[in-house]
A and B are shown apart, each in its own frame.
Chain A
């Protein structure tokens, strides 16, 4: 059973039938949150083992969404979260990550190998101690680094971060747990097994692998990071990371026979050893096909590879995306939605793209002057949506939509 959470610290604006009911012990859950700009994923692999992949903020309560949700379903993040995985260091994936890591006291921190460099730590130090305009990304990374340092000072034995690279196992359920839970699974699902084809008993054995970044992508990303380092006599400015998502961490989770593919923001970059082509070409990646797919990079065509759908996914998978609005970029486009809808009839989004264009109302004088001054203005994070998928071994997926989440196809 999930452990009781600490007294209420985090609030969420999301509500709905069954929203606050935790998954059953043996139930797999993938919850994807998206406020129109940003995303976060919570993965429950069973037996109160939770994983947080990236972080975003509830636009109303300002709490990190993964923490707010865990609190709402009465799960204590300090003991139940095994890992926090930062797929990449872009603003829309790391809001609240520092606070989240602090609250998950026993969690390991996992990040892309592209960030395993002197230059990345130097950036964090320089922009948080000397820049006078640090930016959101550098603030979050600084909080995480300081928390790791504090844990080390307090004698934590496993405080060092783990750097993800293609085909690296990130986590496995421990053998002791495996044996006992396999027995429990068999007991629980005895009836179900009898009624199924019965060819192989479901197993709860769980493993989580990184499918990216490749060595080539790591090298290229490290060069990009080095370019962000301040230089002598250069004017101080806020740090803005704009490099492509070549070094994002794609996750493959195998829970029994149920596979999940979480695509992060990995894009194709025209290189056979990197991006989705690199993953498809790898002979070391875990075998099998996934039934659940977090669509990469907000449904963008730059992250689409049709071979992923034909070689790594079951037909008509459950597919979820989070929209993205930043500058002149708006994802998914109508063409993206049409393409995804042709590939599965079970596609969902956390927020409809048009919902992100919201203008905050102010006094008449201010509104009038705003209109006269800017070409356009929109409120970021106007609402948040949550797509929740739960499934029991051998069972059918149950999809629930909360907040502004909606069905694409």
Chain B
């Protein structure tokens, strides 16, 4: 939600991170000023109290919430104070992206078919070392598993740029008995209808 707010006021999230990291203290007026006119004061709390997925968003929420007086009190301005925080979010600029399907698993490697998502239509096959997969994803490496492979630049919050290759396996839900039964039932009807016998 905070991201939405920043987008609406043409603020860039990266800029805000920078501001928050290097400001000793930001007054409530300065923090809220960009949104004035867009938002009634009473709504500010509802925006910042939404669950935020990013660490920086949580830090902002905590700092604003803890340092802010009750908005409901008539005639009083909220006085949020923001402590110095260290933004931990990096940016990733993708130069090349594939979707992969594992076709064969060896002792210390796996072979996958790759569909180029950057230049559609090109199909490739590659052999990866298991070491390229994060420990959390290693258990997912089996024939039929789907993953995404990204090559690009990782830019830290300090602006440091590094070349990076990221492999992330897709965690699909498990088959449920109801789904399997529904498929069987539909298959039976279809088989009868088209005379697949």
Cα(A121)–Cα(B127), bound, Å: 33
Q: Would you list which residues of chain A between 95 and 129 have a CB under 8 Å from chain B?
A: 116, 118, 121-122, 124-126, 129
Contact B144 A133 (CB under 8 A): yes
Is chain B's interface secondary structure helix, strand, loop, or mixed overall? mixed
Chain B window 159-189, contacts with chain A (Cβ cutoff 8 Å), 1 for yes, 0 for no: 0000111000010111111011011101110
Cα(A368)–Cα(B186), bound, Å: 49
Residues of A within 8 A of B163 (CB): 365, 368-369
Residues of A within 8 A of B188 (CB): 118, 121
Q: Is A21 an interface residue (CB 8 A)?
A: no
Contact A161 B179 (CB under 8 A): no
Q: A236-B175, A237-B145, A370-B151 are in contact. Are A381 and B180 (CB under 8 A)?
A: no
Residues of A within 8 A of B149 (CB): 373
| Contact segment of A195-203, A226-234, A277-285, A392-400 | A226-234
Contact B174 A233 (CB under 8 A): yes
| Contact segment of B27-35, B82-90, B96-104 | B96-104
Q: Is B49 an interface residue (CB 8 A)?
A: no
**Nearest CB of A to B161, in Å:** 11
| Contact segment of B36-44, B59-67, B72-80, B118-126 | B118-126
Contact A159 B194 (CB under 8 A): yes
Cα(A377)–Cα(B179), bound, Å: 37
Contact of B197 among A116, A374, A381 (CB under 8 A): A116
**Nearest CB of A to B103, in Å:** 6
Which of chain A's residues has its CB closest to B110's CB?
Answer: A327
Q: Would you list which residues of chain A between 110 and 169 have a CB under 8 Å from chain B?
A: 116, 118, 121-122, 124-126, 129-133, 135, 145, 148-149, 152, 159-161
Contact A380 B113 (CB under 8 A): yes
**Nearest CB of B to A235, in Å:** 5
Contact A238 B101 (CB under 8 A): yes
Contact of B126 among A129, A133, A377 (CB under 8 A): A377
**Nearest CB of B to A160, in Å:** 4
Cα(A124)–Cα(B190), bound, Å: 11
Q: Is A8 an interface residue (CB 8 A)?
A: no
Contact A376 B126 (CB under 8 A): yes
Residues of A within 8 A of B196 (CB): 116, 121, 145, 148, 160-161
Which of chain B's residues has its CB closest to A115's CB?
Answer: B196
Cα(A381)–Cα(B176), bound, Å: 37
Contact of A366 among B96, B103, B191 (CB under 8 A): B96
Contact of B195 among A62, A160, A362, A368 (CB under 8 A): A160
Cα(A124)–Cα(B183), bound, Å: 9
Contact B180 A360 (CB under 8 A): no
Q: Is A354 an interface residue (CB 8 A)?
A: no
Contact A234 B190 (CB under 8 A): no
**Nearest CB of B to A272, in Å:** 29
Cα(A135)–Cα(B143), bound, Å: 11
Cα(A125)–Cα(B175), bound, Å: 13
Contact A118 B95 (CB under 8 A): no
Chain A window 354-395, contacts with chain B (Cβ cutoff 8 Å), 1 for yes, 0 for no: 000000101101101110111111111100000000000000
Contact B172 A133 (CB under 8 A): yes
Residues of A within 8 A of B52 (CB): none
Q: Would you list which residues of chain A between 221 and 269 have a CB under 8 Å from chain B?
A: 229-240, 242
Contact B96 A362 (CB under 8 A): yes
**Nearest CB of B to A78, in Å:** 20
Q: A376-B127, A380-B124 are in contact. Are A237 and B96 (CB under 8 A)?
A: no
Which of chain A's residues has its CB closest to B96's CB?
Answer: A366
Contact B103 A327 (CB under 8 A): yes
Contact A230 B95 (CB under 8 A): no
Q: Is B142 an interface residue (CB 8 A)?
A: yes
Contact A365 B95 (CB under 8 A): yes
Contact A135 B144 (CB under 8 A): yes
Residues of B within 8 A of A231 (CB): 175, 180
Contact B104 A230 (CB under 8 A): no
Cα(A373)–Cα(B152), bound, Å: 13
Contact of B144 among A116, A239, A381 (CB under 8 A): A239
Contact A369 B146 (CB under 8 A): no
Contact of A363 among B95, B144, B180 (CB under 8 A): B95
Q: Is B117 an interface residue (CB 8 A)?
A: no
Residues of B within 8 A of A145 (CB): 190, 194, 196
Residues of B within 8 A of A135 (CB): 101, 144
Interface contacts beyond A235-B172, A374-B127: sample of 10 additional A-B pairs, CB < 8 Å, sorted by A? A121-B191, A135-B144, A149-B194, A231-B175, A238-B145, A366-B96, A373-B151, A374-B128, A377-B125, A381-B123
Q: Which residues of A contact B (CB under 8 A)?
A: 62, 116, 118, 121-122, 124-126, 129-133, 135, 145, 148-149, 152, 159-161, 229-240, 242, 325-328, 360, 362-363, 365-366, 368-370, 372-381
* 25 A-B pairs with C-beta separation under 8 A: A121-B187, A121-B190, A125-B190, A126-B183, A130-B179, A133-B146, A133-B170, A135-B144, A148-B196, A152-B195, A160-B194, A160-B197, A234-B175, A237-B146, A365-B151, A366-B96, A369-B163, A372-B165, A373-B128, A373-B132, A374-B127, A374-B128, A375-B129, A377-B114, A379-B123
> 6 closest A-B pairs (Cβ-Cβ)?
A237-B144, A126-B183, A236-B172, A160-B195, A377-B126, A122-B187
